[in-house]
Structure formats: structure tokens, C-alpha cells
Structure 1
Amino acid sequence: MTEEVQIVSASREIAAPPEAIFELIADPAQQPAWDGNDNLTEVVRGDRVRAVGDVFSMRVTNGKVRDNHVVAFEEGSLIAWRPASEGKDPAGHEWRWEIEPLPGGGSRVTHTYDWTELTDESRMERARATGEAQLQASLDRLAKVVQSAI
């Protein structure tokens, strides 16, 4: 039996400064424009993320609202959140973004999905279907959005 991969990552270089990229990720209102899972429709609550403990809520394509609890934050370089059903505790999976400046300009962006602690059976099928291709799609869309803005 093959062991199930529960931590998936993708990386790419983006020809933009870390601050410009981070601004798109940390502002929930911008996320539907670059979401490679085609799952987000709009921000419901929450402003630009500024610290661990912040919560922002997004409406997803099925009409439900997800509260995203920020669990890691370093301005300009790292942000991670754990989604939860509206008003509930996080379900045990995490979206993480790491941005590092490259010599001569540009940035390397790494996007990680970790569902090692996911216990909600209703989310398992989607978690299993989230692979490197979906993460890469978000990175590619993010690059397109940020590069058209600078």
C-alpha cells in the first residue's frame, strides 16, 4: 500500500519584489483573483492580515463561509492559515506561503498545503485531490496578477 502524501508544495520564481507578492496574499479581498483551486468567490469578513491570531472569512463556490485562522505571520515573507467552518475551530489543514527575495530582484514563492492533522471526513476527498498542480496554478495566477500590477 502506498503511503498517502499529506504535505504538498510547489515553488516558482516571480519577477516581482516580495512586498508586492505578499500584499496580494495578505489581503483576503485579492485572493479570489489568484486562487488556483477556483474555490474562492469573495471576502466576507476581515481586512489585510497583520498578525498571528487574525481571522478572515471567505465565501467559497458552494456558498459556505470559511473562517481562516492565521497561525504564522512574518511581514513580507511568511503567512499561513488554517480554515474552519464558519464559527468553528480549524479542521486541521493549513495553507502556507513563503516568499524569499532573489539576488538581482524577483522572488521565490513556495506554496504548501498540509493536511496531516485533518480529521474532518467531509474534507478528505478535496484534501486528497489537492496536489502540486493546484498549488502551481495558484502560483502561476499570483505571478500573472502581480506582474500586471507593477
Structure 2
Amino acid sequence: MSSNVRQLISRLIPPARKQFEHLQAHRRDVVWGDTQITLRVRQYPKSKDERVSLVLPNWHRVRLWSEALGRKVELVMTKDTLRHIEDMGGLDAYLIKTPESRLKSNPASAVKWEVMSALRRREAAAMMARGGRGGAAGGDGSGAAGAAGKEST
């Protein structure tokens, strides 16, 4: 945070200061995406006063369908993030393509872990259905080289 922003935060009006403290305590409970918090400075020309307040985005409690999990997932997010999820092709695509450092949300990180685990399980089941481990022919490590070694002794 720059010194100008710190100075503005120190001059917040009391209700905005309370909002800011609540926001700091619960910021990882909401999926933010690229949404920013805006500080608004109002200047009153007659009294030469300045009042600094917060402009918070609207949060929406939404239930989004996850293809990988096969169920709806409830998250709290901003409207811009919801629009971004729709543009990327759904919740699963958003969570897979977005790095953990940009999620900045505990619920979103937990859902991402669930989705990745479900996809890995599904992929492992598909490999098993195709005929084994994928690399070794017999699956026990004794391929043609093992049989040739036994014959030569």
C-alpha cells in the first residue's frame, strides 16, 4: 500500500472505518476476482472539509453448478467476478485456469481443491477402464525384458 492510501485510510469516517475493519477480517470469505475497493474523498467547498469513505462492491450469494463435482456450490462473490466466471465457461473452468495467488478466497480455494481431486479421480478411473496403468504392459513391471532375463540364466 502506498503512503497516500495509508493516509486516506487513517482519515476514514467512523462508519467507513468499521466497514474497513470488517472487510479486513472477512476478505478471504468472498471471491473478489479483479474487483477493487474504492476510496471516495468528498470535499466540501464552504467548510473546506474532506470526508473519506469506502465504496464497496455489492456481494451476491450465488449457487453455481460444478460439472466435476456434480452439484451446486454456494459462494459469495461480486457481480464482476460472476460475469468473469460466465465468460470463462463456468465455475470449473474459472477455478482450473485461475492460479491460487489470484483467487484470494478460502471457499474458492477449497472448491478448487475438490474440483481438481474429482477430475484426477475421474481421469484415474478412465485410465483403469482403458486397460491398466498406461505405461507397463503387465502392470507388475515384468515385461519382455524380465522374460528374456529369465531365459538366459
Q: Is the TM value for this pair above 0.5?
A: no
- TM-score (norm. length: structure 1): 0.22
Structure exhibiting the larger radius of gyration computed from Cα positions: 2
Judging by fraction of residues, say which structure has more strand: 1
- TM-score (norm. length: structure 2): 0.21
